[in-house]
């Protein structure tokens, strides 16, 4: 490799990093700023930092409800995805009549974006009597086709001799799944958890359609409702915005490598 | 993997500790007692001044309680159940105060006002 | 637990065939039981809705009225009379401009964070950071940056002397859509960078060594080696960006609500409005069918341009 000057790269990357970070900073600054947020020119650093926008936001909205709804739905979605996708992925590693058709069906379903189904999906959920419930929120996201294929691929990569050996050792067939296959398919499990978490945690359109009660709203829906009521007139909006972003950001920073791997493997298969 | 588990548990344990600690503090300090003093321009306590406690909502100001100061110019409000307050005080012949903002960190937080409320002669009661 | 049920069911079946045949029978039962939950979900939330959309689009229907045959009424309405439909279609195509712009930026960024410089891990994290975040919150952040009176962008532009009067980015016809697209690019570019970075790291270094020995310049190495070998990764990014132009509901809803007028209306926001604010489920069904056909058409076209089954082969085999 040739030697080349490094500073232009650093300069460019620092500039890009600024562009990426300043929006976060700006909203955070607004949320802790003591002055009127509509004073021009805006100050670049917070004036008399204080947490009262957060206090206002906390009492203006049932934040614990929003948070718990988001958590409940995310947990349901993650659990269902693990069970259903691992099962389906495992089934697809076997040979059986009609397998070709099932795979084709899955691939065809992949071509139907969820957004292209919202009207009848709403009607289906309404017929099931699940409007305005946690299960109704979670049900359409119970299985992601990409994750089924991720599971299939990692099950396929496990040498059959290993399973044979386990069978000879007398491990019951249904235990093979939990004792041998899932531990060996850990990257697929991680990707599955991450992808279903992100999709359920950030989902907005579906809750917007089927949720009626304030107590049933998830975080993104609560945030948009708050925006609809108060427009941009109060710093509490930005405090709420920070409160909504914080959990996701925390999870991302804690499991950054898994996030990046999960998202890229999801994209590569999609 | 153990390292990650560790980091995750540590983070969540910290968060849990902060939340529990904060709630303990809140439980012990949420009687909603708001204490203060009213003085005139010279700094002498004003007895019998009319003090009004207003709630500051996102859009408006609404009176929720009122009281009179005692001989030492002291006043106390209890169980106001709010977190954003505005105090106004006044007395005939002495004058009125401006709006004094009292922001609490949680509802019913006990607070003793460090600065007395000064009544100005220039403002009519 | 489907697995348990499967084995219990299988145990109670007493077949007459040989041991092997019974075992095979049991296995087949297990396979189908394992597939059932996933199939049910997709049946209820993909296949059935798609067919239902099709039926709806040929009916007069609302939750309070019995269905009536409408023929091509909705399609005629849409294609001949509905200007908003054409606007939203046009905007959806404009929104696809996100793809070339963000992929262009992402290629440059991927090359930079792939070079051997200090702190590249930090740069990668920072640039990727915006992607996994909640789009609704991102929309609110950008609304605030674009704010006409005290927004940071107007402030910086005025300080730099580029403009005299503040621009109402999200409230003017000319600037609303580009402003939203800029926010979308901001959010997605980091993700593309990571995808392209993985692609870059899969290029064998020996290729570059050979090229250096042949005296090829870095510039021509980029065009002859890097770019061609990055093609599959770039294709993936394109697919994601195209899908996003059909599904970017959250950003539009929060930032502009489709306005001003219908200047930022996309097909998906128009479908939402038709169905859930105007209660025209039948018309929304017809709109959805058009969107779906368009989506599949573009996907097939893309696949054709990418030279057949790119990206799909490894799953389908």
Maximum Cα–Cα distance across chain A: 77
List the single residue in C with minimal CA-CA distance to A221: C136
Question: By mean pLDDT, which of A77-86, A176-185, C45-54, C282-291 is the weakest?
Answer: A176-185
DSSP string, B83-108: SEEEEEEEETTTEE---EEEE-SSTT
Is A191 near chain C, with CB under 8 Å?
no
Rounded average pLDDT over C80-105: 91
pLDDT at site C148: 85
pLDDT digit string, tens, across residues A97-108: 888 898 888 888
Report, as an integer, the average pLDDT of A209-225: 91
Provide the CB-side half-sphere exposure for C38 (13 A, CA).
31
What is the pLDDT at residue C27?
Answer: 83
Query: Under an 8 A CB cutoff, do A56 and B8 touch?
Result: no
Q: What is the pLDDT of residue C68?
A: 79
Per-chain mean pLDDT for chain B? 83
Is residue A238 scored above 60 in pLDDT?
yes
Domain extents in chain A: 52-150+185-269
Highest mean pLDDT among A25-34, A68-77, C2-11: A68-77
Do C150 and C41 lie in one domain? The reply is no
| pLDDT digit string, tens, across residues B73-111 | 888 888 888 888 888 888 887 888 888 888 888 888 888
Nearest CA to A201 out of C132, B13, C6 is that of C132
**B122 pLDDT band (50/70/90 cuts)?**
low
User: Is C88 domain-assigned?
Assistant: yes
Question: What are A269's two structure tokens?
Answer: 């298969």
Give residue for tokens 């597939």: C35
Q: Tell me if C49 sits within 8 A of A117, measured CB to CB.
A: yes
Output the CA torsion sign for C197, C201, C202, C203.
Answer: positive
Q: How confident is the model at residue A270 (pLDDT cuts 50, 70, 90)?
A: low
Residues C299 and C166 in one domain: yes
Alpha-carbon distance of A194 to A252, in angstroms, equals 9
Sign, CA dihedral A89-C236-C194-C314, equals positive
The model's confidence at residue B17, banded by pLDDT at 50, 70 and 90, is very high
Confidence of residue C15 (pLDDT cuts 50, 70, 90): very low
> Could you identify the residue written with the tokens 């609110």?
C140
Interface present between B and C (3 or more CB pairs within 8 Å):
no
Contact A217, A69 (CB under 8 A): yes
Average pLDDT over residues B41-52: 85
> Would you say residue C314 has pLDDT above 60?
no
Interval C292-309 mean pLDDT: 79
Q: Cα separation of A99 and A38, whole Å?
A: 62
Q: What is the pLDDT of residues C173-212, one digit of tens each?
A: 889 999 999 999 999 999 999 999 988 888 888 888 888 8
Question: With pLDDT > 70 as the criterion, what percentage of chain C qualifies?
Answer: 91
- Cross-strand pairs, B77: B34
Same domain (yes/no): C198, C122: yes
Q: What fold, for A52-150+185-269?
A: MetI-like fold (1.10.3720)
Residue A101 tokens, joined? 């058709």
Mean pLDDT calculated for residue range C214-235: 85
Q: Which band of pLDDT confidence, cut at 50, 70 and 90, is reported for residue B121?
A: low
Stretch (H or E) spanning C149: none
* Mean pLDDT of the region C82-87: 90
Query: How many Å apart are CA C289 and CA C297, to the nearest integer?
Result: 12
Q: Which residue has the tokens 């059909």?
A: C246
pLDDT-based confidence at residue B2 (cuts at 50, 70, 90)? low
Q: Domain containing C19: what range? A: 2-57
Higher pLDDT, B4 or C187: C187
Higher pLDDT, A46 or C110: C110
Is the residue at C22 inside a domain?
A: yes
Domains identified in chain C, total number: 2
Q: A196 pLDDT exceeds 60? A: yes
Domain annotation covers residue C69: no
C132 and C246 together in one domain: yes
> How does residue C66 score in pLDDT terms, banded at 50, 70 and 90?
confident
How far apart CA C253 and CA C244 sit, in angstroms, is: 14
**Residue B75 has which token pair?**
């006043």
| Contact of chains B and A by CB distance (3 or more pairs under 8 angstroms) | yes
Q: Does C140 touch chain A (CB under 8 A)?
A: yes
Same domain, C12 and C97: no
Interface of A with C in 230-259 (CB under 8 A): 232, 237-238, 241, 244-245, 248-249, 252, 256, 259
Q: pLDDT grade, residue C308 (50/70/90)?
A: low
Structural domain ending residue among the three candidates C12, C30, C57: C57
Task: State the Cα–Cα distance between residues C142 and C108, nearest whole angstrom.
Answer: 24
Residue that wins the pLDDT comparison between C116 and C135:
C135
Same domain, C196 and C291: yes
For the segment A38-55, the average pLDDT, to the nearest whole number, is 83
Going by C-alpha positions, the residue among A131, A118, A137, A127 that lies closest to residue C53 is A118
Residue among B4, B11, B83 whose CB faces A55 most closely: B83
Cβ contacts of C291 on chain A, cutoff 8 Å: 116
Query: What is the rounded average pLDDT of the residues C112-123?
Result: 86
| pLDDT for the residue C141 | 93
Of B7, B8, B105, nearest to A55 by CB-CB distance is B105
Mean pLDDT (chain A) is: 86
Is A33 within 8 Å of chain C by CB? no
Residue ranges of domains in chain B? 1-30, 31-118
| Percent of chain C whose pLDDT exceeds 90 | 29
C280 CB neighbours in chain A (<8 A) are none
Confidence (pLDDT) at B88: 85
Identify the band that residue B4 occupies on the pLDDT scale cut at 50, 70 and 90. low
Give Cα B9 to chain centroid, integer Å: 37
Q: Which long-range contacts (CB under 8 A, 24 or more apart) does C232-235 make?
A: C232/C199, C232/C310, C232/C311, C233/C195, C233/C196, C233/C198, C233/C199, C234/C103, C234/C107, C234/C196, C234/C199, C235/C302, C235/C306, C235/C310, C235/C311
Q: Report how far residue C120's alpha carbon sits from residue A26's, in angstroms, rounded to the nearest whole number.
A: 25
Note the pLDDT of residue C224.
84
CA distance C299 to A224: 32
The subunits that touch chain A, with at least 3 C-beta pairs less than 8 Å apart, are B, C
pLDDT score of A269: 59
pLDDT of A2: 52
Q: How far apart are CA A118 and CA C275, in angstroms?
A: 9
Q: Which whole number is the average pLDDT over C93-112? A: 92
**Share of residues in chain A with pLDDT > 70 (%):** 97
pLDDT at residue C12 is higher than 50: no
Contacts of residue A195, Cβ cutoff 8 Å, sequence gap at least 6: A144, A146, A147, A262, A263, A266
Q: Is there a contact between A59 and B4 if contact means CB atoms under 8 Å apart?
A: no
Give me Rg for the CA atoms of chain B: 20
A236 contact residues in B (CB cutoff 8 A): 58
The interface residues of chain C toward chain A in range 35-94, judged by CB-CB distance below 8 A, are 35, 37-39, 41-42, 44-50, 52-53, 56
pLDDT at A268: 67
C269, pLDDT greater than 90: yes
Domain B31-118: CATH architecture, name and number where available:
Sandwich (2.60)
Cβ pair C174, C181 in contact under 8 A: no
């Amino acid at each position: 490799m040739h030697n080349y000057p490094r500073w232009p790269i650093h300069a460019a990357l620092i500039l890009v990093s600024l562009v990426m970070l300043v929006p976060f900073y700006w909203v955070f600054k607004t949320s802790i700023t003591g002055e009127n947020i509509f004073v021009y020119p805006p100050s670049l650093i917070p004036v008399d930092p204080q947490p009262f926008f957060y206090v206002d936001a906390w009492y203006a909205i049932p934040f614990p409800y929003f948070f718990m709804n988001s958590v409940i739905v995310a947990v349901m979605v993650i659990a269902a995805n693990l069970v259903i996708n691992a099962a389906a992925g495992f089934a697809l590693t076997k040979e059986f009549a009609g397998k070709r058709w099932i795979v084709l069906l899955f691939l065809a379903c992949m071509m139907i974006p969820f957004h292209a189904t919202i009207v009848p999906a709403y009607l289906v959920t309404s017929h099931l009597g699940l409007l305005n419930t946690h299960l109704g929120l979670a049900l359409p996201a119970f299985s992601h086709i990409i994750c089924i294929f991720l599971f299939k691929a990692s099950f396929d990569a496990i040498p059959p001799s290993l399973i044979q050996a386990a069978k000879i050792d007398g491990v019951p067939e249904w235990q093979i799944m939990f004792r041998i296959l899932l531990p060996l398919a850990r990257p697929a499990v991680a990707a599955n958890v991450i992808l279903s978490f992100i999709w359920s945690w950030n989902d907005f359109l579906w809750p917007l359609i089927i949720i009626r009660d304030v107590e049933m709203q998830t975080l993104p829906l609560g945030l948009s409702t708050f925006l609809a009521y108060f427009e941009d007139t109060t710093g509490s909006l930005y405090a709420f915005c920070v409160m909504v972003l914080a959990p996701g950001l925390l999870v991302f920073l804690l499991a950054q490598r898994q996030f990046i791997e999960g998202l890229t493997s999801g994209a590569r298969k999609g | 993997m153990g390292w990650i588990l560790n980091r995750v548990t540590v983070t969540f344990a910290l968060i849990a500790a902060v939340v529990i600690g904060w709630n303990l503090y809140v439980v012990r300090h949420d009687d909603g007692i708001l204490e203060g003093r009213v003085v005139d321009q010279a700094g002498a306590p004003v007895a019998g001044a009319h003090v009004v406690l207003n709630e500051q909502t996102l859009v408006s100001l609404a009176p929720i309680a009122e009281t009179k100061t005692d001989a030492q110019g002291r006043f106390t409000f209890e169980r106001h159940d709010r977190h954003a307050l505005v105090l106004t005080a006044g007395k005939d012949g002495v004058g009125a105060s401006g709006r004094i903002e009292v922001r609490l960190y949680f509802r019913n937080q006990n607070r003793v006002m460090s600065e007395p409320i000064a009544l100005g002669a220039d403002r009519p009661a | 637990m489907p697995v348990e049920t499967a084995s219990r069911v299988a145990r109670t079946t007493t077949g007459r065939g040989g041991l092997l045949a019974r075992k095979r029978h049991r296995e087949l039962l297990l396979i189908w039981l394992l597939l059932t939950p996933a199939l049910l979900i997709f049946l209820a939330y993909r296949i059935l809705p798609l067919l239902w959309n099709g039926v709806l689009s040929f009916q007069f229907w609302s939750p309070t009225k019995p269905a009536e045959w409408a023929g091509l009424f909705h399609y005629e309405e849409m294609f001949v009379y509905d200007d908003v439909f054409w606007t939203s279609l046009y905007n959806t195509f404009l929104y696809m401009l996100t793809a070339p712009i963000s992929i262009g930026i992402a290629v440059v960024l991927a090359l930079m964070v792939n070079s051997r410089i200090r702190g590249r891990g930090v740069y990668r994290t920072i640039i990727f950071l915006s992607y996994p975040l909640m789009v609704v919150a991102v929309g609110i952040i950008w609304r605030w940056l674009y704010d006409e009176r005290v927004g940071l962008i107007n402030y910086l532009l005025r300080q730099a002397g580029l403009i005299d009067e503040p621009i109402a980015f999200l409230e003017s016809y000319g600037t609303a859509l580009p402003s939203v697209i800029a926010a979308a690019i901001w959010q997605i570019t980091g993700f593309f960078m990571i995808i392209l970075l993985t692609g870059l790291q899969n290029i064998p270094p020996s290729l570059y060594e050979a090229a250096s020995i042949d005296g090829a310049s870095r510039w021509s190495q980029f065009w002859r080696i890097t770019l061609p070998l990055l093609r599959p990764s770039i294709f993936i990014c394109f697919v994601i960006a195209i899908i996003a132009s059909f599904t970017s509901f959250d950003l539009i809803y929060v930032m502009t609500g489709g306005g001003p007028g219908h200047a930022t209306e996309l097909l998906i926001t128009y479908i939402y409005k038709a169905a859930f604010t105007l209660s025209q489920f039948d018309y929304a069904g017809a709109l959805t069918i058009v969107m779906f056909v368009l989506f599949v058409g573009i996907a097939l076209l893309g696949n054709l341009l990418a030279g057949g089954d790119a990206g799909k082969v490894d799953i389908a085999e």
